[in-house]
Amino acid sequence: MTETKRPSWWPWLLFVWMVVVIWAAFYYAPSARGFKGESARIVFFHVPQAWVAVLAFCVNLVFSIRYLRRRDALDDARAAAAARLGLVFAVLATVTGSLFARVMWNHFWNWDPREVSIAILLLIYFAYFALREAVGDEERRGALSASYAVLAFVTMPFLIFVVPRIYWSLHPDTIINTRGSIDMESRMLHVLIGSLVGFTGLFFWLYALDVRLARLRQKHQQRGEV
């Protein structure tokens, strides 16, 4: 995961890609059966947001472990940047999920196992930032928050995969269902894959910006300007 400076056309390509994805989500993909109105179209945004949140927490874990091994302050900054973006995308996934729940089941929040799981996941990563804020010393903050990140990550599979499968859930089948197959019309699948690529690109672009900012801050600190 290197933060090499990307060419300036990269954000523009991403912008065009996302515009096409949004257009395709509403005009190219057909309506889904068994859902109220056009509510199922939220899948093209909700699923990629949830995927990016998980990806971000994976990146957070990788750099947390790397920090514990190498004690490089930049690894701590990378881990924090990934967790910050993971939290943003997890909040977005919660909001889009709630909007879907309002249309389908008349309530924004139904205490469904998946809703409870994501709420706990949000609490865990809010706690991660509470810990970071509570520790003044930079090196100690890095070590403690990296340790907490590892603990948080080992809990995550239970929230994402186990809790929703132990309890009965209102949530529609996941994209790759329990039978290991994908029951989705091909045009919908094209849009979903396009959206997954777009959101992943968006994540890495925002992540690279955040890390560049941390690197600049670090340089200024070393020069004694801040």
Partner 1 sequence: MFAGKLLFNLILLLCLEALIVPLYCALMGFAVRSVAGLALVLAFGAVALASTATIVAAIIARASGSGTLFAILTVPLALPLLVFLIQGTRAAAQADAVAAVFPALRAIVSLAGVTLVASAYLFPVVWHD
x-or-dash pattern for partner 1, window 5-44, by CB under 8 A?
----------------------------------------
124 makes contact with partner 1 (CB under 8 A): yes
| Chain centre to alpha carbon of residue 95 | 13
Q: Rounded CA gap, 144 and 141, in Å?
A: 5
**Binder of partner 1 out of 14, 28, 103, 147 (CB under 8 A):** 147
CB atoms within 10 A of CB 30: 11
Q: Rounded CA gap, 84 and 182, in Å?
A: 31
167 makes contact with partner 1 (CB under 8 A): yes
* Residue count, binding to partner 1 (CB under 8 A): 29
Minimal CA–CA distance to 64: which of 154, 137, 133, 135? 154
18: three-class secondary structure by DSSP: helix
181 makes contact with partner 1 (CB under 8 A): no
| Closer by beta carbon to partner 1, 42 or else 159 | 159
What does residue 43 show for φ and ψ, rounded to 5 degrees? -60, -30
Contact window for partner 1 (CB under 8 A) among 25-33, 37-45, 98-106, 153-161 = 153-161
**Binder of partner 1 out of 8, 106, 154, 224 (CB under 8 A):** 154
